[in-house]
Each structure stands twice: as structure tokens, then as C-alpha cells.
Amino acid sequence: MTEIERIDLLRKELHAHNHNYYILNAPTISDQEFDRLMRELQELEAKHPEHYDENSPSQRVGSDLNKDFRQVAHKYPMLSLGNTYSQAEVTDFYERVRKSLNEDFEICCELKFDGTSISLTYENGKLVQAVTRGDGVRGDDVTDNVKTIRSIPLVLQGEGYPESFEIRGEILMPWKVFEELNRERELREEPLFANPRNAASGTLKSQNSAVVASRKLDAYLYYLLGENLPHDGHYENLQEAAGWGFKVSGHMRKVRTLQEIFDFINYWDTERKNLPVATDGIVLKVNSQRQQRNLGYTAKSPRWAIAYKFQAERALTRLEKVTYQVGRTGAVTPVANLTPVQLSGTVVKRASLHNADIIASLDLHIGDKVYVEKGGEIIPKITGVDLGSRPAGSEKVTFITHCPECGSPLVRYEDEAAHYCTNESSCPPQIKGRIEHFISRRAMNIEGLGPETVDQFYQEGMIHDVADLYTLQAADICRLERMGEKSAENIIRGIENSRQAPYERVLFALGIRFVGETVAKKVAKAFPSVELLEAATLDELIHVDEIGTKIAQSILRYFHDEKNLLLVDRLRKAGLRMEADKEDLSGHTDKLQGKSVVISGVFARHSRDEYKALIEKHGGKNVGSISKKTSFILAGDNMGPSKLEKAEKLGIPIMNEDDFLALTEEE
Ligand code: IVH
């Protein structure tokens, strides 16, 4: 077999394995074996770029190229459905259809998936385009991102599919993935997604398809459009589509009577809680396309379909008091303490009130009867107050002015909803929170240490900051309650090992606001030592990929604080890595030392990001705009005319990529 034939075979096999795994839930090979085949394919494809196929299973891994989405007009507008909330309205719909059609009809009952809708176009059995709903007329072309979703086939199987058709459906983040993602975001103090729908649509709009690939989205398809569909029945067409490799819900039912519709609704109202993905209602569709055409459309939605929305579960209970939690960044979160009440199968005692504005807009008083809801959200929220039952003379809830932990006055920064305690150095939850973050698995990963031990050390006055960890002695630890010699040694060993943690982890562990794991990596790459980072300017920082003003300012603020500089210095003296690995530095030169380089245009041999990295590798600085100080412009094709004019006016040399690569002796 030639390598080309092997590529074709691997592509075919991997497509089939994807289908078995993601659609049929019945893998026939192990994950390792799958990875091995995928690696083999990737290696062979790298050797044979001439045999590139944009729908190869290897395209699922995503790319981290930045792109803005292109807007595309929908061939058929993406309409929404009329919503109903009561069974009476369902009866009205059914009667309307019956009277208009005046003949037998079937209704297809389906789950209403609560994600973000997508329209996929297939031509000759291949996915060619994926577009979001947008405004219904035009949407964003998110094809590259959608290709990373394993349950969406890139290449169809079976036969009988039209040469060209669209299929629409819902992209979803399964509950499990959503909960895990939020757990990680919480650790990194990144804002949480309120529900899987927001998480799915946020992910789909990511500019980085590698991020999309990592988020494990799923998709159900529920609507076929095209000229030459195999059947008149919507249900029958979707069953056919399942045979072409699409993930179609197994919970669709064709019925004829109103009673059957209500049975379906009532069954799923409770049963949906056991589904792996979020649903918010039921969709009823007239099954025959001929009948659908007869019924037609109103300006906004089809007359042949309707959505019945489930009532979000709600309970009425009493607000007993409001307490406040202080996080590691000093952010103060108000929490409603409620008289325990049963809601969607769990007992709810607390609900987040988020911030002062929310409290004010609810006009909360202690003792109020409040409505608590658990929509798609994990944390229940208060959606309203029963003003009629407000006790006379009850106390209005006003946001606290001082930190409940240390008594310092709180501040609220411009453009932020949260209040902060700024007493970073001696507010206990902030101190402990920073240490807990520092030792956590994704940061310094200090084994043997956990939040309880940190608390114990702190209470005993043994540690006040993260640098104190490196002065701990086994003998001191042993003396503590519930602490044997063995655990003391474990802790010391864990701390010892953490000295080897790479620079980027140390950066993350410092707990600089908004510097999560990914940002820490980017920062470490752009500024391969803490000295360089300490000296970085706002302009230099915001030129790093994924770093905006908010993050840049936070980094500047951190290193402007004398206390932090001292802490970093103590950590350095304790032997922590404060610069990137030597390997990373291999090939570094100072050929471009002191040079400011502007990159402009489109390149053939490397991406802009790669050129940026090369400039930095050789000691230069990549800057955004042309000024007198610019040393030269690295120009590709189609350099912007205004840039060209400016460069000529200032007499700044322009270098093409070949000359640049020759200069830096790169390939
Ligand atoms: S059919 C013209 N079926 O609900 C009919 N939609 O407001 C096109 N949705 O935008 C939609 N599950 O995002 C249909 N089984 C299902 C659905 C469904 C969820 C979403 C979809 C649509 C919205 C309707």
C-alpha cells in the first residue's frame, strides 16, 4: 500500500470510529488505539501536503489561528418558533392545524434542545459550511469551529443523500462538560458560564478552534432542508439522515391525537432531568412537508410548528439574612440565606445575589418571601419578591461598607459590579485563598498540602504568604495536631518538588488577577523571565496574543506593588524558576536587539504569530504601529496602503519575509 492509500484508509477508518464513538456510543477500538491511528494519519498528512483534505478527521483537532468570522447570508432564513407555555395553547395550535388542513395529519413530537442553533451545508456528502443563526437572515461562518465537534460528520456515510442540502440543529454543551468547565473556571477565578447554552454559544464563537475542540461540544440535528429530500415526512427524512451519520434524537415520536401530545409533554417534563443535555421544552411539528407548505409561515415563524416551554421550577421561601463571602482577590459576594425549600429534587438553602446592583434592583428586605428558580443554572437565583407578604417595618438589605473578615472599607472600581476588600496583605480569606491557589494542582501542584492544612498553618502563624511555605521545617509541622512524621515529610517533599515547576506555572501560581493558565503561558513565552516581565510596558503587554488592556493593567499593577516585588524576590531566592527553560531559549540570539519591528500583510512561509515569535527569539520587539522609532517593517503581500504611505513618509525600511529569514538565519 502506498502512503497515499494508507492516508485514505486511515481517514475512512477514523471517520467510522468517530461515528461509532460519538453517535452510536459503541466504540470498537480503545482510545489509545484511536490516538495512535490519528497520529499516524497526522504524520502521513504532514509528509503529503499535496493530499490535503479539509474534511480529514485530523481537522478535528482545531487550530489556534486567529480569525474574525465572516458573515454569510442564509439560503433559507432561520426562523424561530412560536412559544407556548400552557396546554390550552397547544390545543389551540392543534385545532388551528386541523381546521386549515382539513385532512388527516401527523405531528412529530421532539425535545427542544437548549443550546445554540446551527445550519450545516453539505455538498456531495461533505460538510462545506456551518453558520450560526445570527439575525436569522445572516449568520457567522463558524465552519472551522464546528469541524471540531465530533458528533458532526465531516463526510457522510451511506447513500441517498441529496447532492446539496442543509441540516439544522442545536449545538450543546453536555451538563457534565459544563460543570467541569465551570469548576475549572472557578479555580482560575474566571467568570462562570450561567448555563450550558451560554457556554455552548460562547465556545462556538471562540476565535480559537483549539479551544472549541477542547470543550467537547455535542450536537443534535432536527431539521432537513433541500430540494431533493428522500421523503415527504420530516420524521422519515431525519431517520434517513441518521443513516448518513448525523446525530438525531432517539426521542422523537410521531403521533396523531392531542392526548398523545400531552402524554409526550408530561413524560418529558420530569424525564428530561435524566438527559445528558439541557432541554427547555417540546417542539411539535406537522410531519408532512406538503402539509407544512400548505400551512405556510407568519412573518416570524412557521404555522406548522410550535414550541411548548417547560415552566422553570420555582419555589417561594423566606429570606432570612444576607451573608458575604470574600474571595482570594478580595471580591465580596453577597449570599442569600433562605429558609430551606425543596426545588427540582434538591433542598435549596442559599442563593447567590451576585452584587450590590442585583440586591438594589430586587429591593430586598429581610424576611421577604422570595421566588427562587433553578432554570438552566446550577446556582439557584432569586427572581422576584412577593411584595404582598412583606412584613411591616422590615429592614431593607443594604450592601455592607466594610469587609466582614477584616473590617477594611470596601471599594468598587469603575465599570465593575463587584465590591472589593483592598486589604490584600492581612485579610485572612485573601491570604489563605492566594496560598490555596498557589499550591493547587494546576499551579505549583504541591502534593500533601490542601486547604485544611493551609488553614492550620495559617492559624498557627507558620505561614503568611506563599514564600513562607519554603521556610517550613518537618520538625515544626510534626508538632501540629493530627500531623504525623510521615505527612510532615510528604509535605516537605511536595514543597521541595515544586521548586522544579516551570516558569509559566510559577506565573500562574502568583495569582495575578486575570492571569489564568493560558494567559500565563502566553506571557511566559513573550517575556521569558520575570525580570523582562517586570520591565514590560503596557504597549508591550497588549501586543501579546490574547492579552487586552484589562489583563495588561493587572500585570502592571501587580509588579508596581513593592510587596509583590519582594515576594517574587523571596520566591526566587527559595529556588523557584523565574525564567523559561533553557531549551525554550535555544537558538535565541541578539541579532534584532533593540529593534522595533512592525509586521504587516500576508505571509507565505510562516504565520504572523510565528514571525512575532521569531522577532522576539532574536531579541527584537514586535510593535503594532509605525512610528519614527520603528526599525523596519516585515512586510508580506497586501500590506495596507496607509501603512505603506506612512513607512515611506518616515523613511522606514521594508523587508520581505525571505530577507528576514536570511537575516535571522531561520527557515
Ligand atoms: S425546529 C422552523 N426543532 O428552538 C423550525 N428547533 O425558537 C426550525 N430548537 O432556533 C426549528 N430544539 O434553536 C426545532 N427539536 C427542535 C429544536 C429546535 C431546539 C431551537 C432552535 C430554534 C429555536 C426555536
pLDDT in tens, 584-631: 556 778 889 889 999 988 888 888 878 888 898 888 888 888 888 899
Q: What is the atom index within ligand 1 of the atom nearest the CA of 302?
A: 2
Our answer on whether the CB atom of 223 is closer than 6 Å to any ligand 1 atom is: yes
Q: Give pLDDT, residue 582.
A: 66
Q: Are 446 and 493 in contact (CB under 8 A)?
A: no
Ligand 1 and 170: CB distance under 6 A: yes
**Atom 2 of ligand 1, nearest CA residue:** 79
Report whether residue 80 contacts ligand 1, using a CB cutoff of 6 Å.
yes
Question: pTM for this one?
Answer: 0.58
Check the CA dihedral 460-568-425-519 and report its sign.
negative
Tell me how far the alpha carbon of residue 283 lies from the centroid of ligand 1, in angstroms. Answer: 7
List the beta bridge partners of residue 129.
121
Tell me the CA–centroid distance for residue 223 and ligand 1, in Å: 8
pLDDT value at residue 602: 83
Ligand 1 centroid–CA 184 distance in Å is 31
- Whether the CB-CB separation of 222 and 170 falls below 8 Å is answered with yes
Is residue 419 predicted with pLDDT exceeding 80?
A: yes
Weakest mean pLDDT among 341-350, 454-463, 550-559, 583-592: 583-592
How high is the pLDDT of residue 61? Answer: 66
Decide: helix, strand or coil at residue 369. Answer: strand
Q: Compute, in angstroms, the gap from residue 201 CA to the centroid of ligand 1.
A: 15
All residues at 6 or more sequence positions from 53 whose CB lies less than 8 Å from its CB, including other chains: 11
Whether 15 contacts 58, CB under 8 Å: no
State phi, psi for 329 to the nearest 5 degrees.
-90, 0
Distance (Å) from CA 22 to ligand 1 centroid: 22
What pLDDT band is residue 66 in, cutting at 50, 70 and 90? Answer: very low
Instruction: State the angle between helix axes of 549-560 and 562-573 in degrees (0 to 180), rounded to the nearest 10.
Output: 80
Determine the average pLDDT of the residues in 356-381. 86
| Phi and psi torsions of 49, nearest 5° | -60, -25
pLDDT at site 498: 95
Nearest protein CA to atom 15 of ligand 1, as residue: 112
The mean pLDDT value for 214-224 works out to 95
Cell of 667: 527557515
Which residue out of 272, 277, 283 has the highest number of ligand 1 atoms within 8 Å of its CB and is therefore the one to mutate? 283
**CA-83 nearest atom, ligand 1:** 7
pLDDT by residue (tens digit) across 434-480?
A: 999 999 988 999 988 988 999 999 999 999 999 999 999 999 999 88
Mean pLDDT lowest among 143-157, 483-497, 638-652: 638-652
Q: How confident is the model at residue 237 (pLDDT cuts 50, 70, 90)?
A: very high
At residue 80, what is the residue type?
A: S
Please report, as a single letter, which amino acid is at residue 184.
Answer: E
Ligand 1 atom having least distance to the Cα of 79? 2
Q: Give the least confident one: 298-307, 343-352, 400-409, 557-566.
A: 343-352
Alpha-carbon Rg for the chain, nearest whole angstrom, is 30
Over range 307-324, report the average pLDDT.
91
CB of 283 sitting under 6 A from ligand 1? yes
The predicted model gives 547-552 an average pLDDT of 90
Q: How many residues does the chain have?
A: 667
The Cβ-side half-sphere exposure at 136, using a 13 Å CA radius, reads 7
**pLDDT at residue 64 in the model:** 46
3-state DSSP assignment of residue 225: strand
**495: enclosing H helix or E strand:** helix 485-498
For the CA of 115, the closest atom of ligand 1 is 13
Cα separations in angstroms, 536 against 212, 529, 555, 597? 31, 11, 9, 16
Q: Which protein residue's CA is at the shortest distance from atom 21 of ligand 1?
A: 117
C-alpha of residue 258 to centroid of ligand 1, in Å: 21
pLDDT band for 583, please (50, 70, 90 cuts): low
Q: 306 in ligand 1 pocket by Cβ < 6 Å?
A: no
Nearest Cα neighbor of 150 from 284, 211, 60, 50 is 60
Q: Which of 75, 79, 81 to mutate to test the pocket of ligand 1 (most atoms within 8 A of CB)?
A: 81
CA–CA dist 332, 323 (Å, integer): 10
**Is 112 among the residues known to form the active site?**
yes
**Whether residue 234 has its Cβ less than 6 Å from ligand 1:** no
Mutate to test the pocket of ligand 1, among 112, 135, 166, 225 (most ligand atoms within 8 A of CB): 112
Residue 70 to residue 207: CA distance in whole angstroms: 12
- Average pLDDT of the segment spanning 54-59: 86
Cell (9 digits) for 19? 461515528
Is 170 within 8 Å of 115 (Cβ atoms)? Answer: yes
Indicate whether 500 pLDDT > 70.
Answer: yes
- How far apart are the C-alpha atoms of 522 and 527, rounded to whole Å? 8
| Three-state secondary structure of 266-313 | HHHHHHHHHCCCCEEEEEEEECEHHHHHHHCECCCCECCEEEEECCCE
**Which residue's CA is the closest to the ligand 1 atom numbered 18?**
112
CB of 307 shorter than 6 A to ligand 1: yes
CA distances from 272 to 112, 114, 197, 230, 344 (A): 10, 12, 16, 31, 12
18 CA → ligand 1 middle, Å: 26
Average pLDDT over residues 81-106: 94
Contact 619, 588 (CB under 8 A): yes
Look at residue 377 and tell me whether its pLDDT is greater than 70.
no
Q: Does position 271 have pLDDT exceeding 90, yes or no? A: yes
- For the stretch 34-42, contacts whose Cβ atoms lie closer than 8 Å and that sit 24 or more positions apart, written own/partner, are 37/10, 37/13, 38/14, 40/6, 40/10, 41/7, 41/10, 41/11, 41/14
Q: Which of 12, 47, 67, 112 is catalytic?
A: 112
- Weakest-pLDDT range from 55-59, 95-99, 284-288, 491-495: 55-59
User: What is the DSSP secondary-structure string of 578-599?
Assistant: -B--HHHHTT---TTTT-EEEE
Q: Are 122 and 161 in contact (CB under 8 A)?
A: yes
Expressed in angstroms and rounded, the spacing between residue 106 Cα and the centre of ligand 1 is 18
DSSP for 373-430 reads EESS-SS-EEEEE-GGGPPTTPPBP---SB-TTT-PBEE--TT---EEE--TTT-HHH
Helix pair 258-271, 87-101: axis angle to 10 deg: 140
For range 36-45, the mean pLDDT: 88
* Distance between Cα 71 and ligand 1 center (Å): 21
Q: Which atom of ligand 1 is nearest to the CA of 249?
A: 15
* Residue that has been written with the C-alpha cell 493547587 in this structure: 440
User: CA distances (Å), 633 to each of 67, 596, 619, 647, in order?
Assistant: 22, 9, 16, 8
DSSP state of 468: G
**Residue 376 binned pLDDT confidence (cut-offs 50, 70, 90):** low
